[in-house]
Amino acid sequence: MIKDLFRKRYHTLPVSETEGKEPEVPAGLWRKCNKCGKAIYTEDVIRNHYICPKCHGYFRVHAYRRVESLADTGTFTEWDRELPFSNPLSFPGYEKKWKDVQARTSLNEAVVTGTAEIQGYKTVLGVMDARFFMGSMGHNVGEKITRAVERATKEHLPVILFTCSGGARMQEGIISLMQMTKTSAALKRHSDAGLLSVIVLTDPTTGGVTASFAMLGDIILAEPNALIGFAGPRVIEQTIRQKLPAGFQRAEFQVEHGFVDAIVKREDMKETLGRILALHQTGKKPISDVNGVSSEDSYADRQDNGGASAWDRVQISRMAERPTGLDYIQELFTDFMELHGDRCFKDDGAVVGGIARFHGLPVTVIAQQKGKNTRDNIVRNFGMPSPDGYRKALRLMKEAEKFGRPVICFVDTPGAFCGLEAEERGQGEAIARNLFELSGLGVPVLSIVIGEGGSGGALAMATANEVWMLENAIYSILSPEGFASILWKDAARAADAAGVMKITAADLLKLGVIEAVIREETPASLETLPVLCQDMDVRIRRFLQTYGSMSRKELADHRYERFRAF
Amino acid sequence: MFHKILIANRGEIAVRIIRACREMGIATVAVYSEADKDSLHAMLADEAICIGPAPSSDSYLNMESILSATVATKADAIHPGFGFLSENSKFVTLCQKCNITFIGPPADVMDRMGNKSEARNTMVAAGVPVVPGTKDPIHDVETGKRMAEEIGYPIMIKAASGGGGKGMRIARGPEEFEANFLNAQRESVSGFSDDTMYLERYVERPRHIEFQILADTHGNVVHLGERDCSIQRRHQKLIEESPCAVLSDSLRAEMGEAAVKAAKAAGYVNAGTIEFLLDSQNRYYFIEMNTRIQVEHGVTEMVTGLDLIKEQIRIAAGEPLSFSQEDVVIRGHAIECRINAEDPSRHFMPCPGTITNLHLPGGNGVRVDSAIYSGYQIPPYYDSMIGKLIVHDIDRPSAIRKMLSALGEVIVEGVNTNVDFQFAILENENFQSGHTDTGFIEENFDD
């Protein structure tokens, strides 16, 4: 090694001859990320929404910092800042600890509540803070949240609550447990008044908070990777003596299992909440006020059969190039915000739904979604909904009813999913429940069959005031293959079956099963989509003008009579 | 004066800084990545600290590791060299917070000069010429034509959303304007759905001329003449020389004054470079300022007799410049060839590997700045430059002859180098006669 051969014959200045202070890293300049363990520059973290710039892990945010990041400048007014100390069990040492935590955190309790404007929309806002007894809910937390929700009900305001809590506060025992019902009941009254509640689950949200107000929002959002669950993972592992899988109880797990509508990154949170508030503004114009149809707006009213046979149309309706539900949603609507989950078991990829705007009017849109390729189809299950898909659709329809939004469905399914899990979770019940509930829904419902309308699986999303079909769509009691196999014991005679089943749009129009056929000059494709949607756009406006002026009862009666006639 | 300096860099520039420190009696701390543990800079320094794994982002760009190493070794200043953290204003701020002197300009000046439009505005305000162009977007040909007259031909017509030559046209005179404007605009509308256009004076066949300046904390600013860095391949400089073959003494004085004015306008401190484009009619335009020591600082040192690294350290220590503009005399001519471990026959692909045999030239007026040695393994993670060969002689022809002689002695076995390509440039007639501009490589050599 040449290093050992170098000779050092030069002299360096002694330290004493130099002036100035020694270098040192001031306290707090760097901090260690508790997720990746790397050193990070504190100012970077603050500028980056309290997200680690290296591993992108989320740090917990102090309640007042959170309020600052959400509320329009100067619009936040805090409510019930100080409540007297509550110690229902006279728990020894509690008061001293409570005061110590107060002094350390400059917080009065584990939640901050008040009113604020977010992107100009007034709302009630509650934010929990993990530094205060792990955000646990005792009397004061329950009381502050309940008062905030009650006041929101009284003042007709939406409620947004950011949860961050280990659960009930142990020091207050059974009185903490009572807060769960107290807060839930307040939200019930708020909801019954037709008002919006949005919950944002942040890391961690567990125990009695999860089992009460945290799961009761009309819309439930979560921050990425937040721990969300009832029993904590450690308790579960100790009880069942098994190692839990990676990702268990994280926000992404909860979306997959149907309990969270969407994961929202911190940098997008304010904008997302602003959009949700905008979509739920009360005092909006009546539905029938949607952009009127004028004499210039026209659509092809010919129902030209074009010579294609029923079997041709079956095959066209199944073509992989055919636009899917999401293609129509993107083309016809703006501001689409997808909401996930059935709040029971799963988020079904075969059904997509959410809120969007149609000519500015908030509407609920739901579509059966086929994949564009094999990988996509694994997520979409080839457009065959599971019970969870129908339950998600019903949940979104009920929300639409609560907020007076018309429902527009796109039907495109070979049929409801046929499988073990589907039966275990009640496929029949799920379809039946949709027919039952949809028949009485108090808002206009429109269904458009864009591809395959496979049996009960289609009907569960076509119990509408009007049903339309694209010219090359089909709608039937079951597939022609199934029909041939049952009646003639030969699935190969599907083409013959198609010929006699009356499954084309033209046939069904004659039978009165549908109200309109939307002409396809050439089989629908992404290229012809804009033209098809122009046609649909005019028709939908006309539909909304007609049905938008009906009362809830008139709409339900109309739907009742529509199906009563068969 | 500092008693110990940490060098936050690697390779030949780290060695160059360590040598300057040793001569000044300042102790040195080298930092090195895991891939550089056998590197010369780590061996030559009084102390050496490993700051992380091979990738630069984990080592030479890892501010926290470097600051920790500085605190641990009680070094009172950091020299950043060039590249890596040398133009990172956040790092400068952090050094200041940790009570460490950053050898370079203050963070705010660095920020101001790093922002292209702000730098341009600063220069316009100081009366330093910039490439004339339109400030407001243009949508129609009549306005465009009027603006073109104001700016002066030839004119570069550029689409606001353009890129890759699309929506770009050159109009050499008013007769060419309308057709070219409309064509460029049509391309932009069809390609980017945007009819917004900008105009800029087209600087034809420019030379890249940069002025070295030194500014101390007492308000003294001097320039040390220019470097002609027109020999570039894909914006990578290959040969630099000082002085420029075609600059008259009066133009040098004028441009140097502009450079000093620019540095003063920026509130600049320490060593920096003002870059200009010089067109064939000797019109010059400020393009940007480099807020660091540069690779090619050696040629300026050879013609001025100054040591720029030592000057940087003295300025950072708060000392005033020991000379004034009148004391700066440019003597003779210096040329630098960058020696890269790369393969010119395979699109100049980097060639890391072990150096099995090495001989480097020497003699009167020959200088080699390098960090390689026989047996050295060139790691694949960093820049492919392995050294700089600099020669100094009484005039340009003598310097070229000296360089040709010295290049012939460069023996680097085990890896491919660009030495043969450097020969080809030096032997090119256009180069020898001083007919060079930034298009030189493209025009004279196939890639």
Among candidates A11, A17, A23 on the partner chain, residue whose Cβ is nearest the Cβ of B71: A23
Q: Please tell me the distance from the alpha carbon of residue A411 to that of residue B201, in angstroms, as a whole number.
A: 60
State the DSSP code for A5: G
**Contact across the interface for A11 and B25, Cβ inside 8 Å:** yes
With respect to residue A165, please indicate whether it lies within any of the assigned structural domains. yes
With respect to residue B118, please indicate whether it lies within any of the assigned structural domains. no
Residue B337, phi then psi, degrees to nearest 5: -115, 130
Confidence at residue A13, expressed as pLDDT on a 0 to 100 scale: 74
- A353 and A264, same structural domain? no
Confidence at residue A25, expressed as pLDDT on a 0 to 100 scale: 87
- B182 and B234, same structural domain? no
pLDDT(B413) > 90: yes
pLDDT band for position A161 (50/70/90)? very high
pLDDT band for position A299 (50/70/90)? low
Residue B5, phi then psi, degrees to nearest 5: -120, 135
Q: Which domain holds residue A191?
A: 60-279
Q: Please tell me the distance from the alpha carbon of residue A496 to that of residue A214, in angstroms, as a whole number.
A: 55
With respect to residue B41, please indicate whether it lies within any of the assigned structural domains. yes
- B284 and B176, same structural domain? no
Angle at A340 between CA A335 and CA A344, to 5 degrees: 155
**Contact across the interface for B23 and A17, Cβ inside 8 Å:** no
Task: Examine the fold and report which residue of B201, B217, B248 is the final residue of a domain before the chain moves on.
Answer: B201
pLDDT(A193) > 80: yes
Annotation marks residue B367 as catalytic: no
State the DSSP code for A246: T
Adjacency order of strands within the sheet including B101-102:
B47-52, B27-33, B4-7, B77-79, B101-102
Q: Please tell me the distance from the alpha carbon of residue A262 to that of residue B425, in angstroms, as a whole number.
A: 62
Task: Return the CATH number at A301.
Answer: 3.90.226.10
Q: Which domain holds residue B339?
A: 207-444
**Contact across the interface for A13 and B1, Cβ inside 8 Å:** yes
Residues A151-166: what's their mean pLDDT? 97
Token reading at A521: 């000059």
- A320 and A246, same structural domain? no
- B349 and B388, same structural domain? yes
Task: Return the CATH number at B61.
Answer: 3.40.50.20
Confidence at residue B329, expressed as pLDDT on a 0 to 100 scale: 96
Interface with chain A: mutation pick from B3, B40, B71, highest number of A CBs within 10 Å: B3
The identity of residue A106, as a single letter, is: S
Task: Return the CATH number at B357.
Answer: 3.30.470.20
With respect to residue A5, please indicate whether it lies within any of the assigned structural domains. no
With respect to residue A431, please indicate whether it lies within any of the assigned structural domains. yes
The identity of residue A71, as a single letter, is: A
Distance from CA of B356 to the nearest CA of A (A): 15
pLDDT(A340) > 60: yes
Residue A534: exposed, middle, or buried by beta-carbon count in 10 A (0-12, 13-18, 19+)?
middle
E strand segments, A145-299: 159-165, 197-205, 219-222, 262-263
**Contact across the interface for A41 and B64, Cβ inside 8 Å:** yes
CA torsion angle A179 A183 A185 A191 (round to 10): -170
A4 touches chain B (CB under 8 A): no
A48 touches chain B (CB under 8 A): no
Confidence at residue B447, expressed as pLDDT on a 0 to 100 scale: 61
Residue A399 CA: distances (Å) to CA of A190, A191, A312, A427, B126: 14, 10, 39, 22, 64
Sign of the C-alpha dihedral, residues B145, B151, B155, B161?
negative
With respect to residue B115, please indicate whether it lies within any of the assigned structural domains. no
pLDDT(A409) > 90: yes
- B419 and B385, same structural domain? yes
Write out chain B residues lying below 8 Å of A1, CB-based.
Answer: 38, 43
Q: Please tell me the distance from the alpha carbon of residue A533 to that of residue B81, in angstroms, as a whole number.
A: 61
B68 touches chain A (CB under 8 A): yes
**Contact across the interface for B98 and A24, Cβ inside 8 Å:** yes
With respect to residue B27, please indicate whether it lies within any of the assigned structural domains. yes
- A531 and A415, same structural domain? yes
Confidence at residue B98, expressed as pLDDT on a 0 to 100 scale: 94
- A299 and A362, same structural domain? yes
Confidence at residue A297, expressed as pLDDT on a 0 to 100 scale: 63
**Contact across the interface for B100 and A12, Cβ inside 8 Å:** no
Q: Please tell me the distance from the alpha carbon of residue A367 to that of residue A346, in angstroms, as a whole number.
A: 17
Phi/psi class of residue A107: alpha, beta or left (left: φ > 0; alpha: ψ in -120 to 50)? beta
With respect to residue B60, please indicate whether it lies within any of the assigned structural domains. yes
Considering chain B, what is the average pLDDT of its residues? 94
Asked casually if ipTM beats, i.e. exceeds, 0.85, the reply is no
Interface with chain B: mutation pick from A12, A22, A36, highest number of B CBs within 10 Å: A12
**Contact across the interface for B3 and A13, Cβ inside 8 Å:** yes
Chain A nearest-CA residue for B40: A3
Chain B nearest-CA residue for A31: B64
Characterize A221-246 residue by residue with b for buried, 16 or more Cβ atoms within 10 angstroms of its Cβ, and e for exposed.
bbbbbbbbbbebeeebeeeeeeeeee
Q: How many domains does one find in chain B?
A: 3
Q: Please tell me the distance from the alpha carbon of residue B161 to that of residue B404, in angstroms, as a whole number.
A: 46
Nearest partner of A467 among A434, A418, A519, A509, judged by Cα: A509
Q: What is the pLDDT of residues A211-249, one digit of tens each?
A: 999 999 999 999 999 999 999 898 999 999 999 999 999
Q: Please tell me the distance from the alpha carbon of residue A459 to that of residue A107, in angstroms, as a whole number.
A: 54
Token reading at A19: 């002036």
Distance from CA of A55 to the nearest CA of B (A): 14
Would you give the distance in Å from CA A284 to the centre of its chain?
A: 22
Q: Please tell me the distance from the alpha carbon of residue A100 to that of residue A98, in angstroms, as a whole number.
A: 5
**Contact across the interface for B98 and A29, Cβ inside 8 Å:** yes
pLDDT band for position A83 (50/70/90)? very high
E strand segments, B365-409: 366-370, 377-378, 385-393
Q: Please tell me the distance from the alpha carbon of residue B404 to that of residue A441, in angstroms, as a whole number.
A: 91
Confidence at residue A302, expressed as pLDDT on a 0 to 100 scale: 53
pLDDT band for position B164 (50/70/90)? low
A301 touches chain B (CB under 8 A): no
Residues in chain B: 447
- B239 and B98, same structural domain? no
Strands A219-222 and A262-263: parallel
% of chain B exceeding 70 in pLDDT: 99
CB A514 within 8 A of CB A468: yes
Task: Examine the fold and report which residue of B84, B103, B122 is the final residue of a domain before the chain moves on.
Answer: B103
- B150 and B83, same structural domain? no
Q: Please tell me the distance from the alpha carbon of residue B86 to that of residue B114, in angstroms, as a whole number.
A: 12
pLDDT band for position A473 (50/70/90)? very high
A37 touches chain B (CB under 8 A): no
Least confident of A463-467, A507-511, B91-95, B443-447: B443-447
% of chain A exceeding 90 in pLDDT: 80
With respect to residue A493, please indicate whether it lies within any of the assigned structural domains. yes
- B429 and B300, same structural domain? yes
Q: How many CB pairs under 8 A join A and B?
A: 65
Nearest partner of A440 among A394, A479, A380, A509, judged by Cα: A394
Q: Any alpha helices (H) in A106-157, and if so which ranges?
A: 139-154
With respect to residue A396, please indicate whether it lies within any of the assigned structural domains. yes
**Contact across the interface for B74 and A22, Cβ inside 8 Å:** yes
Confidence at residue A10, expressed as pLDDT on a 0 to 100 scale: 80
With respect to residue B158, please indicate whether it lies within any of the assigned structural domains. yes
Nearest partner of A247 among A270, A266, A263, judged by Cα: A263
Q: Please tell me the distance from the alpha carbon of residue B262 to that of residue A323, in angstroms, as a whole number.
A: 60
B76 touches chain A (CB under 8 A): yes
- B281 and B180, same structural domain? no
Considering chain A, what is the average pLDDT of its residues? 92
Chain A nearest-CA residue for B68: A25
CB B387 within 8 A of CB B57: no
Task: Return the CATH number at B186.
Answer: 3.30.1490.20
CB A467 within 8 A of CB A487: no
Q: Please tell me the distance from the alpha carbon of residue A162 to that of residue A199, in angstroms, as a whole number.
A: 6
pLDDT band for position A283 (50/70/90)? low
Strands A516-518 and B4-7: unpaired
Q: How many domains does one find in chain A?
A: 3
Least confident of A293-297, B180-184, B233-237: A293-297
With respect to residue A124, please indicate whether it lies within any of the assigned structural domains. yes
Q: Please tell me the distance from the alpha carbon of residue A139 to that of residue A208, in angstroms, as a whole number.
A: 13
- A187 and A127, same structural domain? yes
A23 touches chain B (CB under 8 A): yes
Residues B67-77: what's their mean pLDDT? 95
Q: Please tell me the distance from the alpha carbon of residue A386 to that of residue A348, in angstroms, as a whole number.
A: 7
Q: What is the pLDDT of residues B255-284, one digit of tens each?
A: 999 999 999 999 999 999 999 999 988 999
Q: How many CB atoms lie within 10 A of CB A44?
A: 14
B258 touches chain A (CB under 8 A): no
Residues in chain A: 566
- A356 and A217, same structural domain? no
- B181 and B33, same structural domain? no
Q: Please tell me the distance from the alpha carbon of residue A119 to that of residue B422, in angstroms, as a whole number.
A: 62
Q: Please tell me the distance from the alpha carbon of residue A148 to that of residue A132, in angstroms, as a whole number.
A: 19
What crossing angle do the helices spanning A427-439 and A387-402 adopt, rounded to 10°? 20
Among candidates A11, A23, A30 on the partner chain, residue whose Cβ is nearest the Cβ of B74: A23
B346 touches chain A (CB under 8 A): no
Task: Examine the fold and report which residue of A7, A37, A59 is the final residue of a domain before the chain moves on.
Answer: A59
- A488 and A424, same structural domain? yes
pLDDT band for position A37 (50/70/90)? confident
B371 touches chain A (CB under 8 A): no
Residues A6-19: what's their mean pLDDT? 71
Whether the model pTM is above 0.90: no
With respect to residue B126, please indicate whether it lies within any of the assigned structural domains. no
Confidence at residue A309, expressed as pLDDT on a 0 to 100 scale: 87
- B323 and B407, same structural domain? yes
A30 touches chain B (CB under 8 A): yes
Residues A308-322: what's their mean pLDDT? 90
- A183 and A47, same structural domain? no
Confidence at residue A559, expressed as pLDDT on a 0 to 100 scale: 96
Write out chain B residues lying below 8 Å of A30, CB-based.
Answer: 64
- B158 and B97, same structural domain? no
At B4 the three-state DSSP class reads: strand
Residues A145-171: what's their mean pLDDT? 97
With respect to residue B121, please indicate whether it lies within any of the assigned structural domains. no
**Contact across the interface for A24 and B70, Cβ inside 8 Å:** no
A24 touches chain B (CB under 8 A): yes
pLDDT(B322) > 80: yes
B-facing residues of A in 106-165 (CB < 8 A) are: none
With respect to residue A13, please indicate whether it lies within any of the assigned structural domains. no
CB A488 within 8 A of CB A273: no
- A262 and A122, same structural domain? yes
Task: Examine the fold and report which residue of B186, B201, B216 is the final residue of a domain before the chain moves on.
Answer: B201
B94 touches chain A (CB under 8 A): yes
Q: What is the pLDDT of residues A488-532, one digit of tens each?
A: 998 889 999 998 999 999 999 999 999 999 999 889 999 899 999
- A316 and A250, same structural domain? no
CB A152 within 8 A of CB A120: no
Nearest partner of B336 among B294, B374, B372, judged by Cα: B294
SS (H, E, C) A11-77: CCCCHHHCCCCCCCCCCCCEEECCCCCCEEEHHHHHHCCCECCCCCCECCCCHHHHHHHHCCCCCCE
With respect to residue A9, please indicate whether it lies within any of the assigned structural domains. no
- A94 and A79, same structural domain? yes
% of chain A exceeding 70 in pLDDT: 95
What crossing angle do the helices spanning A173-192 and A139-154 adopt, rounded to 10°? 10
Write out chain B residues lying below 8 Å of A18, CB-based.
Answer: 1-3, 76
**Contact across the interface for B74 and A14, Cβ inside 8 Å:** no
Distance from CA of A225 to the nearest CA of B (A): 26
Would you give the distance in Å from CA B286 to the centre of its chain?
A: 14
Among candidates A11, A18, A39 on the partner chain, residue whose Cβ is nearest the Cβ of B76: A18
Task: Examine the fold and report which residue of A227, A245, A279 is the final residue of a domain before the chain moves on.
Answer: A279
A-facing residues of B in 189-218 (CB < 8 A) are: none
Write out chain A residues lying below 8 Å of B94, CB-based.
Answer: 29, 41
pLDDT(B296) > 90: yes
**Contact across the interface for A13 and B25, Cβ inside 8 Å:** yes
Nearest partner of A124 among A266, A228, A277, A226, judged by Cα: A277
- A244 and A334, same structural domain? no
- B175 and B219, same structural domain? no
pLDDT band for position B22 (50/70/90)? very high
